Amino acid sequence: MPTSRNPSVETWGRRGPEVVRRNVEAVDSALANLHEVTVPDEVTANRRRPPTVPEDAPDFVQKVTRLLMEGQGDKLPVSAFPIDGTWPTGTSQYEKRSIAQDIPIWESDLCVQCNFCAMICPHTAIVSKVFEPEAGKGAPDTFEAVPETHTPELVGLDYRIQVAPEDCTGCGLCVEVCPAKDRTQPKRKAINMRPLEDHREAEASNLAFLRSVPDVPRERIPRDFKSLPLLIPLFEYSGACAGCGETPYIRLLTQLLGDRLLLANATGCTSIYGGNLPTTPYTVNADGRGPTWNNSLFEDAAELGLGMRMGLNKLVGRARQLLEDMKSNLPAALYRDLTGPCATLDETAMAARREAVGRLRDWLADQQGPEVNELASLADELCPKSVWVIGGDGWAYDIGYGGLDHALASGQNLKLLVLDTEVYSNTGGQQSKATPMGAVAKFAAAGKETRKKDLGLLAMSYGHVYVAQIAMQSHSNQASKALQEAENYDGPALIIAHSPCIAHGYDLLHSPAQQKRAVDSWAWPLYRFDPRRTPEGLPPLQLDSVRQKVPMKAYMQEEARFRMLELRDPQRYEQLAAAASDAANEQRELYMQLAGIHFEPHERLNNPDTGAEHHD
């Protein structure tokens, strides 16, 4: 056997002697522990590989998805694909990877029902759920539930934290943020990482049971940040990196907007883990409805979303027109129920609207004529929908910026969510205009010299755009508020979301603490800019971060992208760190002034009628 010592030095020498020593030690102990395995003359095992997808998976998953997962996609005939370009969602649940060695196991006696674990999980692999105690009957023996005792609105329901053992990546974030500790043994929390093999079977059947338990009506769940994770997530088990900081934002969005969400997705990580092949994490609720997702290119997501919005406006306009034309024949109550106010976040109104659309369909079934048929095909458009554009910083700050700007300027009711990892993550860490000063990235190997573009400020300059900067791993309250304010705003909104990523070079287990440092150092200030405040005489900009609580370096020193520069060129690092600190100070001064600006209360005069869909 050739000695592998020299390759260790060649490959790892640049990292230092300790890395070489450990690699050599690993090789040596591998050699020392070799033992012979005798291969029997004939096959004696009677175990078989488990099927790629479970036997109860839907037909499409058996016939198409399975082959894609097995790498046999080329064998599929064109006739196997849906004819209209659509693709079924809800398929990631059939791709059981079981990649974690340890998974979180719940200790119900300690749990304080804060739902932080479910809020932060990048893979929706741990969920919190409330349900009628009756519905828990017939559960597996290991399925434990406790009365919900922390939210007055939910009294009488049962509560359970459930891991998806075969979808968990073992990142540990849920345990990291769990605040509940055993008083005599504080190492023991309300969830603890335990070996997958000890719990896999039991938790898999618990999960299957929990998924079959009916959800309580959406309007029962309060919309504060602690309760939001109780809403059913329609984005689950994505293939993002363990610990990814982008995915929780998307999951939260699907929890807030559920089946009324239309997504235009820029190409990038979001479209890779969010896309349809071989499986898609976007899924449907018990009624079979879920987000609609589309991806065109990298650069045109905002335009795609704008087109979706304007197309929807046309359809809604036409449906309303038809409704008006039939008003004299329609039962008055039905007409009223189809035209009253209905905001996408108003669950009671949305449920009533869906029910009214059902009645409209029943009524239309008894009518005759081409317009009747047309309205029947458009009836669903009477339920308001929300269009969100999702993409990374490479799209929003750089390559798709023109389109993003165009979409904001349009004044349309369109929301843009920028998952800002401060580099092109998916292609391997190239700098973007969102890369902060002093960070090492591809094409900025000596550390980026210029400031991060202030995308939020550019958007604020329009005056009619709702803008927020958020950081949900550490400040989920402010993030939840901003997402809901943006959705409720009848116009364009831009949300810039701090997204920890493996391209930052640290253990993402620490991302909640590190993100807090980013906020506290003003590397990532939190704010909300709401144009609705201006007519009231209030400054539209509200700073959710005020003071600089830790020095910029306290944030920078924790990530390899900054440390690489510090180690290579300490002087340049000092200069850039000082310049980054100055930049943050200047930005803070400017923002404080904007947040202190005074307007006289006034009517908005030339509120442009954009023809956008207003929440009637």
Partner 1 sequence: MTDLTTQWLGLNLCSPLVVGASPLTDDLDALKACVDAGAGAVVMHSLFEEQLVAEQMAAHRFIDSRINTDAEARSFFPESDVFAMGSSSYLKRLEQLQSSLDVPVIASLNGISPGGWTQHARELEEAGASAIELNLYDLATDPSDTAITLEQRQLKVVRSVVQQVSIPVSVKLSPFYSALPSFVAGLEAAGAHGLVLFNRFYQPDMDLDELELSREVVLSTNAELPVRLHAMAMLFNRTGLEMAASGGVHTGDDAAKAILSGATVVQVVSALLAEGPSALARITDEMTQRLSAMGYTSLVEARGALSLDNAPNARTWERLNYARLLQGWQSMR
**In the range 469-508, which residues lie near ligand SF4 by CB under 6 A?**
501-503
CA distance 182 to 415: 43
Task: Pick what 87 binds: ligand SF4, partner 1, none; C-beta below 5 to 8 Å, kind-dependent.
Answer: none
CA distance 138 to 281: 29
Note the Cα 384 to chain centre separation in Å. Answer: 22
Note whether 139 binds ligand SF4 by CB under 6 A: no
Note whether 350 binds ligand SF4 by CB under 6 A: no
Task: Pick what 560 binds: ligand SF4, partner 1, none; C-beta below 5 to 8 Å, kind-dependent.
Answer: partner 1
Q: How far is the CB of 149 from partner 1 (least distance, A)?
A: 21
Q: In the numeric block, which tokens belong to residue 198?
A: 């000890």
Q: In the numeric block, which tokens belong to residue 172?
A: 């540990």
Task: Give every CB contact of residue 244 below 8 A, 6+ residues apart in sequence.
Answer: 122, 238, 269, 273, 499, 500, 501, 502, 508
**Exactly one of 240, 310, 349, 612 binds ligand SF4 (CB under 6 A); which one?**
240
Task: Pick what 126 binds: partner 1, ligand SF4, none; C-beta below 5 to 8 Å, kind-dependent.
Answer: ligand SF4
**In the range 95-134, which residues lie near ligand SF4 by CB under 6 A?**
104, 106, 111-117, 121, 123, 125-126, 128
Task: Pick what 458 binds: partner 1, ligand SF4, none; C-beta below 5 to 8 Å, kind-dependent.
Answer: none
Task: Pick what 198 binds: ligand SF4, partner 1, none; C-beta below 5 to 8 Å, kind-dependent.
Answer: none
Note whether 246 binds ligand SF4 by CB under 6 A: yes
Contact 189, 180 (CB under 8 A): yes
DSSP class of 189? B
**In the range 198-227, which residues lie near ligand SF4 by CB under 6 A?**
none
Task: Pick what 121 binds: ligand SF4, partner 1, none; C-beta below 5 to 8 Å, kind-dependent.
Answer: ligand SF4
CA distance 458 to 210: 46
| Beta carbon nearer to partner 1, 18 or 36 | 18
Where does this chain bind partner 1 (CB under 8 A)? 12, 14-19, 21-22, 181, 183, 186, 272, 425-429, 440-442, 444-445, 502-503, 505-507, 560-561, 563-564, 566-568, 570, 574
In whole angstroms, how far apart are CA 60 and each of 74, 232, 237, 283, 288? 16, 24, 19, 15, 15
Task: Pick what 116 binds: ligand SF4, partner 1, none; C-beta below 5 to 8 Å, kind-dependent.
Answer: ligand SF4
In DSSP notation, 270-307 reads HHHHHS-SS--SB---TTS---EEEE--STTHHHHHHH
In whole angstroms, how far apart are CA 590 and each of 225, 471, 543, 586? 30, 21, 11, 6
| Beta carbon nearer to partner 1, 283 or 581 | 581
Task: Pick what 170 binds: partner 1, ligand SF4, none; C-beta below 5 to 8 Å, kind-dependent.
Answer: ligand SF4
Q: How far is the CB of 12 from partner 1 (least distance, A)?
A: 7
Task: Pick what 317 binds: ligand SF4, partner 1, none; C-beta below 5 to 8 Å, kind-dependent.
Answer: none
CA distance 59 to 275: 20
Q: How far is the CB of 471 from ligand SF4 (least distance, A)?
A: 15
Q: In the numeric block, which tokens belong to residue 361?
A: 């369909």
| Beta carbon nearer to ligand SF4, 244 or 304 | 244
Binding mask 152-171 for ligand SF4 (x = CB under 6 A): ---------x-x----xxxx
Contact 390, 417 (CB under 8 A): yes
Of 522, 496, 269, 483, whose CA–CA distance to 386 is shortest? 483
Note whether 232 binds ligand SF4 by CB under 6 A: no
Q: In the numeric block, which tokens belong to residue 162?
A: 């459930």
Q: Would you mind telling me the total number of residues written for the chain in this entry?
A: 616
Task: Give every CB contact of residue 124 below 8 A, 6+ residues apart in sequence.
Answer: 164, 167, 233, 235, 236, 237, 238, 247, 251, 281
Task: Give every CB contact of residue 459 below 8 A, 6+ residues apart in sequence.
Answer: 408, 465, 467, 494, 529
Query: Angle at Cα 67 formed by Cα 65 and Cα 68, nearest 5°?
Result: 65
| Beta carbon nearer to ligand SF4, 58 or 179 | 179
| Beta carbon nearer to ligand SF4, 173 or 417 | 173
Binding mask 362-381 for ligand SF4 (x = CB under 6 A): --------------------
| Beta carbon nearer to partner 1, 231 or 444 | 444
CA distance 604 to 15: 62
| Beta carbon nearer to partner 1, 279 or 283 | 279
Task: Pick what 117 binds: ligand SF4, partner 1, none; C-beta below 5 to 8 Å, kind-dependent.
Answer: ligand SF4
| Beta carbon nearer to partner 1, 128 or 271 | 271
CA distance 193 to 108: 15
Coil/strand/helix, residue 467:
strand
Task: Pick what 578 binds: ligand SF4, partner 1, none; C-beta below 5 to 8 Å, kind-dependent.
Answer: none
List residues bridging with 263 in a β-sheet.
293, 388
**In the range 425-464, which residues lie near ligand SF4 by CB under 6 A?**
425-426
**In the range 501-560, which residues lie near ligand SF4 by CB under 6 A?**
501-503
| Beta carbon nearer to ligand SF4, 161 or 459 | 161
Q: In the numeric block, which tokens belong to residue 502?
A: 């493996």
CA distance 583 to 577: 10
Note whether 244 binds ligand SF4 by CB under 6 A: yes
Coil/strand/helix, residue 147:
strand
Q: Considering only CA atoms, give the Rg of the chain.
A: 27
Q: Which residues bind ligand SF4 (CB under 6 A)?
A: 104, 106, 111-117, 121, 123, 125-126, 128, 161, 163, 168-174, 178-180, 190-191, 240-241, 244, 246, 269, 273, 421, 425-426, 501-503
